[in-house]
Amino acid sequence: MSGDRASSPAGATSSSVAWRSAEPDDAAAVARAIDDWWPGKHMVHAVCPQLFEHLGDTCVLAEREGDLIGFLVGFVSQRMPGTGYVHYAGVRPDCRGLGIGRELYRRFSTAVAGRGCTRLYAETGAWNVESIAFHRRVGFTLQPGDAIVDGLPVHHDSAGVGFDFVVMVKPLVGEGP
């Protein structure tokens, strides 16, 4: 993953996209992106340089002309054997629908499959219906929660008091995202 340049994913613009592993110094750019791409959601608490320091080889960044256009921060779970856990991921709003999210997940899947993972586990805020729809399109299934809110199985307070999350799982066996 580190440092390779690839042409844009299928459907993307003709500009090249640079794909690389995250470094600790990337935390600030990811935090700014989260604030810019999801204004008013106050999610930057999840961004810390230590994640990139210790888990950066499974964290994927997408850049175009030096600007961050996508990121996936994930790692191999220590408590759920065979599971690649996606801590958070995002694509810049004007770059959504170009295949960048799918490619972030493909690269992460390849990295964690090489470490013995057979499934992916992801969570997103119950408010983030676009993320839930994306995950369903790439093969994730919603897992039962402790309540149903607006037709979605949610886990109350799993990431802090007042935060409802949807949990999703996808098998890695024999397919990519």
Q: How far is CA 146 from CA 51, 65, 155, in A?
A: 29, 44, 5
pLDDT of residue 159: 64
User: What value does the mean pLDDT of the chain take?
Assistant: 85
Residue-wise pLDDT for 83-92, tens only, equals 999 998 999 9
User: What domains are defined for the chain?
Assistant: 5-171 (3.40.630.30)
pTM over 0.95: no
Condensed to tens digits (0 to 9), the pLDDT of residues 111-150 reads: 999 999 999 999 988 888 999 999 999 999 999 999 998 8
Q: Each residue of 116-133: b (16+ CB within 10 Å) or e?
A: ebebbbbbbbbbbeebbe
**What pLDDT, on the 0 to 100 scale, is given for residue 15?**
59
The pLDDT, as a whole number, for residue 11 is 43
Q: How far apart are the first and last CA of the chain?
A: 16
- The mean pLDDT value for 101-116 works out to 96
Residue 43 has pLDDT above 70, yes or no: no
